[in-house]
Structure formats: structure tokens, C-alpha cells
Structure 1
Amino acid sequence: MIRPLIHSLTRVAEATHQSLIKHPRRITGGIGVLLLGTGVTAFGIAPLAPDAADLPVRQVVETLTPPTFEVPSVLAASSNDFVLFRSDVTRRDDTAQSLLQRLGVVDTEAQGFLRTDATARQLLQGRGGRLVSVETNDRQELQRLTSRWIANDDRKFSRLVIENSPEGFKSRLETGELTASARLASGVIRSSLFAATDAANIPDPVAVQLAEMFSSDIDFRRDLRQGDRFSVVYESLEADGEAMRTGRVLSAEFVNNGRKHEGVWFEEPGQRGAYYGFNGESSRKFYLSSPLEFSRVSSGYGMRFHPISGTRKAHLGVDYAAPTGTPVRTIADGVVEFAGVQRGYGNVIIIRHRSNQTTLFAHLSRIGVRQGQKVDQGEWIGAVGSTGASTGPHLHFEFRDNGVHQDPLVIARQSESVPINAAARSRFDAVAQLQRVQLNAAASVQQASAE
């Protein structure tokens, strides 16, 4: 019986083999359908597993011990060690209460100390604008107050410190030296010099010095062009790292209508400093171009319609329109020949210079020199006013050469330069080299920002 079964299986195998040879695609497709049906059957069976909701539930309860953490010493300290810092600027009408209130200080004892302590009261004396910094605890009680301002000597500053000690508030007033650091800046003229310096965040005193440096070569009222550019290096005078005011312009470059003008400050030992070109040629003239730092010529030298007499007559000087109180300076070294009142001139000063040349300053509101006093170029001598025969505040300025009137503007432009001492040339070259590097850096900052 086994043999017929084996024989039958052999015949089936041979038939299957022949079918695979004759119809391979049909056989393969049938096998694929069979397997697919098996897969679908498996997929249909899988969701028939037991539902998790029907499984038995067992509750387990365990006691957990939380880990211990070391509390930082800062958090463990008392609330008195929690310090808040605030700063503000004093105002002209400030009181102890209003200042501390703006600073977030709620401390009646501190208010009383600021009102009664002679040293502390200096904080609110004079003009406002003093930067004040305070430290308080989390109850807004004053722990420390610090303020700084320029002292009488413009190279020194005063530092007021008020501290809360176990014995109560204590104050002390100290004096320190201002430190100078160099600031770099540059700008492009769009309308005026001051508009350009404002756009570049350059302080006004620096802008005035910049105009002074190149006033003999550039008329800043008429010669400026759109696209003129400048670079400047100037001092920032600081107290404990806080900027207090600007100092001197150390070097500058001004390109006006395609022409480059340069200047670098150099001071020889024992002598007054001046501005020179980077090639060592002096840019300082014997006569300054103007007795005011930066003003408008309201009436030039020559024939004009006189505002008081109503007739045409020669105007033998130059008038500068300026507000009352504007500082007036001498344009060259000399000696005060007269300081007092003269008829139509009102308050007047006459200064004698070299070679019997004199300058006259009229209509002053204030005279700051006395007869016989020696004065240096650029020194303050009085203030603009409207005394005498004057229709409004202005400075009337005259230049006389051996008693003969001359145009002051022409004299200033034609006056010779003051040369540098040959013995100091090597030291000047070192200063000029450093300033050249800083000016190039200032110009590159402006170029990068423009791009």
C-alpha cells in the first residue's frame, strides 16, 4: 500500500513540475493570492485580543522619601543682603524727597539726612544733571548713595558717598583725577555741520572745536557741500569709568569739496599746544579767524546802510550776531590797553598786539579783564551784549594796524603760521603716527556703517 501512495505522489510532483515549466506566471500569481489572503485573515484576527479594560486591576501603594538638597548660602541669607541698584540724574528743582522717590528709595531717615547733613546737601546744590546711583535692600531702604560731578578744576571731580552704617548714615566728599580716553567718530554732511555731528552722536563742544580747527580754510556757512565727510578723535574725561565731559579734539580730518584738511594736536613741554598738519606744518595762525567760537557774521567790513543813522557809511569792523552772554575771546596774545565805557561803543575792550596792531571789542554786556593785563590767544575777556549805540545783542569787532582800520577776516587769513620747534619734531612724529592710525580707524567705521 505504501508503494502505490509513493507512486501517486511522484506523479503529482512531476505534473506540478511540468505545470511550472509551462505556466510559471499563473502559478506564481496564485501563490501570491493565497499568501495575501492569509495576511488579511491574520489582520482580521489581531483585533480579537482581550480588551485592556477587562483585565484585572491591582493598586500598589509605596512610601517615597524625597531627596535632600543643600540650600545655597545666598538664598539662606537674610533679606538685608538682597541689594537693588538704581540710577538717575538730578534735576534743577529736585528735593531730597523727589530725588529718592525717583530712585525707588522709601526711607524717611535717608530723606532727613540728605536735608540736614552739610556734606550730603551739596548733592542738590547748583545745576542739575548729576548722575546718582543708589543701593537699597528689598525693603527699599537706602544702603549706599554715590554721585560724581566736575569740581572747580576741570581736570578733577568730586565724589559724594553716603553709607548706612550701624551708627546711622555717614557721608564723605572725595576728590579724584579725571582720566582721559580717546573716542573715535566720523560723519557725512547732509545739510550742516551740527546736523551731521548730531547724527553721529558727537557732542556739541567737539563740533565747535572741529569748526575752529578748520575755520581758516573752510567757511562753514557757505563752503560746505553735501557728501563732505569728516573723521575726529577726541578726549572723553571720565570719573571711575563714568563719562563726565568731553575734552580736546586730538586729531581730525575734513574733506570739503574733494579737498582734504587735517590737523593733530601737539603740545611742547612748557608751551601752549596747537594744531599742526601731519607733515609737521603748523595750522595755528597768529590771529584767530573770529573772536567768537562759532557765530554768524551779521554785518561785514565795508560800506553799508547804517541801522541807526539811516544813511550809507563805512562799517570799519565786523559784527557777529550772538545772544547776550556769549563768551568773547582775544584773537591773539597781547596786553589790555583799555577796558571800560566809550560813547557809542558802550562797554569796550581794546587789546594791543605786536607791531602796534590793536583789536577792539564793543557793545559788551560784561568786561572780564582790566587795563594792563596780559592775555593769551583764545583767552576769555568778556561777553556779548547790547550796550551803547546798538539795535540788539551782537559783538562789534575792529582790527587796526598802526591806527588804520583793516578787515579782520582778511588779516586772520593772511597771518603767518606759528612754526613747530625743530627740537620737538621727533616727539611730534610719534604723536602724529598714533593719531593717523586712530583717524583711519574712525574713517573705516563710517565706511562700514554706510555700506
Structure 2
Amino acid sequence: MKFSSRQNPLPTLARSSGRSLLESLSRHPRRVMAGVGALLLGTGVTAFGIAPLAPDASLLPVQQVVEELSISPLTDAGMPLNTGMTLYRSDTIRRDDTPQSLLQRLGVRDSEAQALMRNDAAVRQLFEGRAGKLVTVEANAEQQLLKLSARWLPDDERMFQRLVIERGAQGLQSRIESAELTVTPRLASGVIRSSLFAATDAADLPDAVAVQLAEMFSGDIDFRRDLREGDRFAVVYESLEADGEPMRAGRVLSAEFVNNGHAHQAVWFEEPGLKGAFYGFDGSSSRKSFLASPLEFSRVSSGYGMRFHPISGQQKAHLGVDYAAPTGTPVRTIGDGVVSFAGWQNGYGNIIEIQHKDNQLTKFAHLSRIDVRTGQKVAQGEFIGAVGSTGASTGPHLHFEFRVKGEPLDPLEVARHSENIPVNQAARARFDAVAKLMRQQLDAAATVQQAKAE
């Protein structure tokens, strides 16, 4: 590169005057300093009127000088390009992604990496199944791939798989690793403005946690009719993570829901050798002998009592509850029992009947699929079939009945007033310790919501 400038003799004159001043100062230091002091005192307020000592630069002769300069390659930020730096980028797998499109989006321009990812069986798993897998790459300044890593969940819910592509002495090599998910507690809270799910979305709660929250308190709160604007909740739940990356939500550990000024609380506790359950902070069980609903969370489309029949068009007693849900939605038993009938039955279509203690019977009708057989024992919450529209049905839904000694009862009222099971006294001290910790975490979650509001 050539660099051009105009040479001005003014700097030479200034350097000459400077050397004369230094020589005088060395020979007569006291005399010079005294003169400088007097000059400053006498001209402090009139310095702006002093004429320049040097000649006018515009009147001086100009000379052009051309000189060769050596300049290192620079980036836009003024840094050398080849500094050995490592660049990190992350993105998620899209449904129509290919190895080339993924690497290009991640800023990698590496033909070797593309070839490996097109032909490697281990890498092929990255593009199979659900989209949304997080991919992280490390590349050098030349956009060459140094390392790629991605994680996803296989069928085993407590393990995850990790794909690693890494550059070594033999070039790029791939491997699949399995590791256990790390469980981390997360806190969240929210306020009801319109609906439960709108509030949980606003609080960034995973859908699985929102469903569990509704399940926990469905026996005490009718989420269709009882919710009030200003109701609030706080929740502590498990986040299952792979190398610090959240993969899915786990179990709710504790929660509090304040509905119309009344607080409902629950904490998860597992007694040794027994199934875990939710309990109140006083040790009374939130688990009742019957669940509030045979579906995890759904809309009641037709309640118990008199109604206009959708097929006959006449007013007729509806001896159960209808739940609107898509075909294939899993149906579960609301309590422990034995399957007394599983098959086809007139207008009910595919139906399952389960006999419980004290001559109590539940019916699940219009099913698209039956997953149990007559005589089979079932436990509360176990899936037994799927929603359908078989028999006398105008669309996909579940018809659910509850009978005692043959007499029909409102299933929602039965669930609400069913028996609670307290914590075992032998495990009470351990329960109290868990409840104390959960109470502190719920208070912390509520504080976060209060800080957001302020």
C-alpha cells in the first residue's frame, strides 16, 4: 500500500526552538524559571491575545513524500483474523433441516463436516424424530468445525442421549453417549387474569406442570366456575436437564393456589415402600380415594342432571358427565378396582365398567379403544382406554358415570367429597422436614411474583 502526505517545515523549526530552550534552562535554571513565572502572572488573563510565534503554515512550501507501508489483515473490529479464536453458536433442528442447511445456519463452512453428517449413522439420529433439538457448534476463524454437540430424550425418561462430533488427530469423529438427567428444582408463580392456562403461559410454566397443577387442586377447585380474577399460585417443580439444558419438566414438588381468598396447598411426599402422593402441609393427604376426572385435564361439555338430548332432541336426565376431548385422548380409572366389563354395549358403544369397594361402580363409554380386560385389577390413575365416538354419539367425547348400589350420582360431587388419606405417623418427622423446605421455596416463588408486579 502507498501512503501520500505533504511535508511541512514547521515541525523542524519547532524542534530547533525546543533544543535552544533546553540548553538555556540547563545553563541558567533559576533565571529562566523566574522569567516563566513572571510571564504567567502577567499574562494569565490576556493569553488569548498573544500572536503565534511560528510563521503561518499556509505560507510555507509543501513537499510530497511517498512511502511503502506494511499493514496486517484486520477484521471489522480491528483485530487480526487468524488469532486462534474459537467461535460458538447454537440453534435448533428444524423439521426440514439437512446437514448442509444446519451447518450453514450455524456459520460453519466445512465440506468434511457436511460429508460426515450426511453419511454417519449416529448423526442420522439427530435429524430423526421431533424437531427442536438444540445443537451447539465450535468453529475456528476459518469456519471449520471443531466440535458439534446435541442432546435429546430417548424412550427412557430419566436418561438422555448426547451426540458429539469432534475434530482430532484422525479428523472428525462422531459418537453417541448416554447419561442421566440432572434434576433441578424450579420456582414459578402467577396471577389469574382470565384462565389458568393463560396465567401459566404468562409465568413460562411448561404445559406438563400446568396440567399437574390443575390435577392437584381439581378436587377442591372447579377450574371452570370457581376461578376469580386475582387468584394466584406458586409452584416448585422438577426441571430435568442435560448438561444444564432443560429437556422436560418433571414432577410438581409443592404448590399453593389461592382461590377467592382461600389457600389450597400441597406437597409431594413418598413414604418408604409406598407410592408417593400429595399431602397438605398439616400432613393430611391431598390424594383422595377418587380422582376428580378420568381425563388429565379437559372441558366438561355436559354435566350431570336434566338436559336436551343431542340425538332425540327431548329433555332427558343425563346420568353422568361428558368430557369433550379429541379421539385417542387417554382415559384413566379414578380409583382402585377390578374391571367388571370391557366390550360393546348398545348406545354406550365401547365401554369399560370398573367395580370399586362398597358397591361403587364407574362407567367409561364411547371409547375408541379398550386397553383392559374383564377381571383385571386396576390402580387409581392407570390408563384403561381412549376417547372416541362409538355408539350413540354425535362426536368425540367421554361419557362417565358413577353409581353406588346401582343408583347414579354426580361424579364431580363424589370426587370432591371422597375420603382423604393422611400421612403415616411413622414417617411424620421425615414429612415435616420435607414440608418445611417446600414451604420456604414456595414463599420464595411468591416473592418473585410480587417483585415482578412492583
Task: Mark yes or no: TM-score above 0.5.
Answer: yes
In structure 2, the partner of 1:53 is 55
Which of 128, 149, 152 is the matching residue for 1:125?
128
Q: What letter is aligned with 2:380? A: Q
CA distance in 1, matches of 2:189, 2:229: 15
Instruction: Supply the AA of the counterpart residue of 2:358.
Output: S
Deviation at 1:78, TM superposition (A): 10
Alpha carbons of structure 1 residues 368 and 49: separation in structure 2 relative to 1, 3 Å: closer
- 2:318 — aligned with what? 315
State how 1:15-414 maps to structure 2 within 5 Å: 52-53=54-55, 79=82, 81-414=84-417
5+ residue gaps, structure 2, are 1-41, 61-79
AA partner of residue 137 (structure 1): N
SS at match of 2:334: coil
Q: Which residue number in structure 1 is paired with residue 29 of structure 2?
A: none
Q: Tell me, in whole angstroms, the C-alpha distance in 2 between the residues paired with 1:438 and 1:113.
A: 47
Say what the alpha-carbon RMSD is for the aligned residues: 2.6
Contact kept in structure 2, 1:189 and 1:225, CA below 8 Å:
yes
Structure 2 counterpart of 1:442: 445
Q: Distance in 1 between matches of 2:128 and 2:252?
A: 31
Q: Distance in 2 between matches of 1:164 and 1:364?
A: 54
Q: Give the secondary structure class of the aligned counterpart of 1:119.
A: helix
For residue 63 of structure 1, what is the aligned residue in structure 2?
none
CA drift of 1:295 comes to: 1.2
Q: Matched residue pairs, number? A: 389
What SS class does the counterpart of residue 121 from structure 2 fall into?
Answer: coil
State how far apart, in whole Å, the 1-side matches of 2:376 and 2:117 are.
Answer: 44
Alpha-carbon spacing, 1:341–1:164, altered in 2? closer, same or farther (3 Å): farther
1:64 is aligned to none
Would you say the 8 A contact 1:80–1:137 is kept in 2?
A: no
DSSP 3-state at the match of 2:55:
helix
Taking a change above 3 Å as real, the CA distance of residues 48 and 421 of structure 1, as seen in their structure-2 partners, is closer
Instruction: Give 2:354's aligned amino acid.
Output: I
Letter of the aligned partner of 2:276 in structure 1?
Answer: G
Tell me how far apart the structure 2 counterparts of residues 416 and 164 of structure 1 sit (CA, whole Å): 62
- Counterparts of 1:308 and 1:159 in 2: how far apart (Å)? 54
1:131-151 C-alpha deviation (Å, 9 max, x unpaired): 111112222222221111112
Q: Distance in 1 between matches of 2:254 and 2:368?
A: 35
Distance 1:353 1:101, change over 3 A: farther
In structure 2, do the counterparts of structure 1 residues 170 and 207 end up closer, same or farther at CA, with 3 Å as the change threshold? Answer: same
5+ residue gaps, structure 1, are 1-39, 58-76
* Bigger Cα Rg: 1
Residue type of the partner of 2:116?
F
Whole-angstrom distance in 1 between the partners of 2:129 and 2:180: 21
Give the fraction of aligned pairs with identical amino acids, expressed as a percent.
Answer: 70
| Structure 1 residues 215 and 109: CA distance shift in structure 2, 3 A | same
Q: What is the DSSP-based 3-state SS (H/G/I as helix, E as strand, rest coil) of the residue aligned with 2:198?
A: helix
Deviation at 1:48, TM superposition (A): 9.8
**TM-score (norm: length of structure 2):** 0.80
**Corresponding residue number in structure 2 for 1:21:** none
- 1:81 deviates by 4.1
- Measure, in 1, the Cα distance between the counterparts of 2:125 and 2:224: 43
